[in-house]
Amino acid sequence: MRMVFNFKMSLEDYHQMMVSRTFGNSWIRRIILLVVWLVFTGLIVLDLTGVIELTRIVHVCALLVAVSFPAAVITMEINVSKYKDAYLSGFKAERQIVADEEGLTFCNRSTGESGSNPWGEVTKLEELKDVFVIQLNRREAVILPKRGMGNTKKVDQFREMVKEKIPERFYPLKRSVFR
């Protein structure tokens, strides 16, 4: 079976992709990162004000964490802002993703760039509420919006194809018992 998805990457799609690339998709992981940052930033402040005295190694580690997290957020927001400016000035951001028995083919229809990845090269494919996040490696993820798939039948067909091709690396949408 061959499935072709054409869509225009929205500002929200791009933002979600950047958050996913920077901090992952798990809200628990994001909360843990925030708590760790708050703790280490607090330690730095307490050390600088003389309330506590950190060893040199702990001070350097705390400083690295205190600086790295905001740097990641700022870098991500700069990239989103650049995309927003291009998007609002008329950049088309048209994408095509083809899924078949061999793997996935990605085409940036705005620039003509394309590439393909066999199923074996997809490190993780996670389903979120509105998108599928296709992780190709530790630094590269592609967003496939469900709205770009046409209808729920095609979403279900894609989900089944992914379950068949990479069952150990597919993370379907977790249904909440509280809804």
Average pLDDT for 124-149 = 88
pLDDT score recorded for residue 175: 59
SS (H, E, C) 73-93: HHHHHHHHHHHHHHHHCCCCC
In whole angstroms, give the CA distance from residue 166 to residue 162. 6
pLDDT score recorded for residue 139: 75
**How do the domains of the chain map onto residue ranges?**
3-16+91-171, 23-79
Average pLDDT for 39-53 = 97
In whole angstroms, give the CA distance from residue 128 to residue 150. 17
CATH number for the segment(s) 3-16+91-171: 2.30.29.30
Is the pLDDT confidence value at 2 over 90? yes
Is the pLDDT confidence value at 35 over 50? yes
Q: CB of 142 within 8 A of CB of 134?
A: yes
Q: What percent of the chain has pLDDT over 90?
A: 63
pLDDT score recorded for residue 177: 44
Is the pLDDT confidence value at 79 over 80? yes
pLDDT score recorded for residue 178: 42
Helix (H), strand (E) at residue 9: none
